[in-house]
Amino acid sequence: MATTEPIRDKKLVQALAKYWLDRGNVRNHGLIVVGVCTALRISDVLSLRWEDVYNFELDAFRSHLTIIEGKTAKVQVIALSRSAVAALGHMPRERHQYIFSGARDGSTPLSRVQAWRIIKAAAAAVGAPGAISCHSLRKTFGYFAWKSGVLPVMLMDLYNHSSYDITRRYLGISQDERDGVYLGLTIF
């Protein structure tokens, strides 16, 4: 069985989300964007309700999302990025409904299997290489954060990992990237 990989090409990540937007499916588009931008596990993304991200009294998106992670039961406070808010902004909002609903009335969340199908269909359509799944969204966040200079210890904290080794595997560092360090460093 192949290990789930991050998507290492920014244009491919954008194409993955755009695939659904081009087909008029703002829910699936939002699922991919929010999954990458929040670095949450898919079970936590699917459990989000509109009241978690939107203040209905002020008619505005919240600046932060506060969630108790399903797997770890730890509280996470996540700043909502412009990209996440923009993707959510395309969608109709109802206070108590699930954001990524599997029912027309918003009363039940999308299933993990259906989320997997959504991501796999987009990945196949845009030619994303490797083992891409729901967890790839979470890993993609870490990969691009690391590539932009975020320290691994910060990623370890964001992911609530207990060891650096786990975080290192999440980053999906390839031999080519390792070679790049050796070959790109000019000392002499």
Decide if 90 is catalytic. no
Residues 102, 35: Cα–Cα separation, whole Å:
16
Decide if 82 is catalytic. no
Greatest Cα pair distance, the chain, in angstroms, is: 65
Decide if 164 is catalytic. no
Decide if 62 is catalytic. no
Query: Residue 78 forms beta bridges with which residues?
Result: 65
DSSP for 41-62 reads -HHHHHT-BHHHHEETTTTEE-
Decide if 138 is catalytic. yes
Decide if 135 is catalytic. yes
- For 82-113, give the secondary structure using H, E and C: HHHHHHHHCCCCCCCCECCECCCCCCCECCHH
Candidates 8, 29, 41, 139; catalytic one:
41
Question: Which of 149, 93, 129 lies closest to 13 in space, CA to CA?
Answer: 129
4 neighbors 136 (Cβ within 8 angstroms): yes
Candidates 8, 29, 135, 139; catalytic one:
135
**What length is written for the chain?**
188
Candidates 19, 54, 159, 170; catalytic one:
170
Candidates 71, 74, 82, 104; catalytic one:
71
Candidates 19, 29, 54, 138; catalytic one:
138
Catalytic residues: 41, 71, 135, 138, 161, 170
